Amino acid sequence: MHIGRLLRLIGFAALGLIFILLGGGFLTFVHRMNSYPAGSRVEADGIVVLTGGAQRIAEAAELLSHGRAKRMLITGVNLRTSREQIVALNTELTPLVDCCVDLDYRARNTIGNAIGARRWILQNGFGSVIVVTSNYHMPRTLVELANAVPGVKLVPYAVEHAPTDRWWHDPGTARLLFTEYVKYLAASLRTVVETDPEHSRMAVVVGGRKPALKGPMPVETD
């Protein structure tokens, strides 16, 4: 067999294997979303809720109000959102906001969420946290948090579920899941070579900016 043809066959075989592995990984990624509990009886030292949807804070507030954790961190809060506005939308927090709820305005993305969570977890000496976010965002969130706080038990609590049954019939859902899968792969690869998210060069290159603001906590505004 001509050497050029052999090399082409090897190249095609390698590409085919890569596509099979990526496709299998994607199907595993989608299947994993169904394994995250929601509505079950979870407990931990603290709760970390990542902003991105109103249901996330509402579900986390209910967990806190039922004594499932001692304290809650809402990370990635918009600079224009005040504590009073959050409480007005989540009345379960009214008796707890002054004692047990912390807001993180520094995070700009999921890596920034992990940085803020690490500072908060270490400050409070927590050994376990309930992680509240959407089911499609959970895999990447757990990767980032596991990298930021190794040894801390992470208890996933998924809300805002993207449909995983017959997702291929909805282009919007397929695009969302595939995009999150690519981000999940990137996070998984990055955390292999970078153990400190606060000094992640790759995060700056990909995101175009630091993942978290530095300096004192921004002042809450009405």
pLDDT digits (tens, 9 = 90+) for 109-142: 899 999 999 999 999 999 999 999 998 899 999 9
Query: What is the Cα 198 distance to its own chain's centre?
Result: 16
For residue 74, pLDDT beyond 70: yes
**Confidence at residue 93, expressed as pLDDT on a 0 to 100 scale:** 85
Whether 63 and 132 have beta carbons less than 8 Å apart is answered as yes
The distance in angstroms from the start CA to the end CA of the chain is 74
Contact 143, 191 (CB under 8 A): yes
Is the pLDDT score of 39 beyond 70?
Answer: no
State the angle between helix axes of 138-148 and 171-193 in degrees (0 to 180), rounded to the nearest 10: 10
pLDDT digits (tens, 9 = 90+) for 199-208: 777 777 666 6
Q: 154-171 pLDDT, tens per residue? A: 999 998 777 777 778 778
Which residue type sits at 16? G
Neighbours of 182 (CB within 10 A): 13
CB 22 within 8 A of CB 28: no
pTM: 0.82
* Least confidently predicted of 14-23, 64-73, 188-197: 14-23
pLDDT reported for residue 142: 96
Question: Among 7-16, 58-67, 208-217, which is the least confidently predicted range?
Answer: 7-16
Nearest residue to 53 (alpha-carbon basis) of 208, 144, 148, 158: 158
Question: How sure is the predictor about 16, in pLDDT bands with cuts at 50, 70 and 90?
Answer: low
pLDDT over 60 (residue 7): no
- 65 pLDDT higher than 80: yes
- Please report the pLDDT score of residue 194 as a whole number: 81
Token readout for 190 is: 């990055």
Q: What is the structure's pLDDT at 10?
A: 58
Q: From edge to edge, which strands make up the β-sheet containing 71-75?
A: 101-104, 71-75, 46-50, 128-134, 153-159
Is the pLDDT confidence value at 34 over 70?
yes
Give the span between the Cα atoms of 82 and 95, in whole angstroms: 17
175 or 7, greater pLDDT: 175
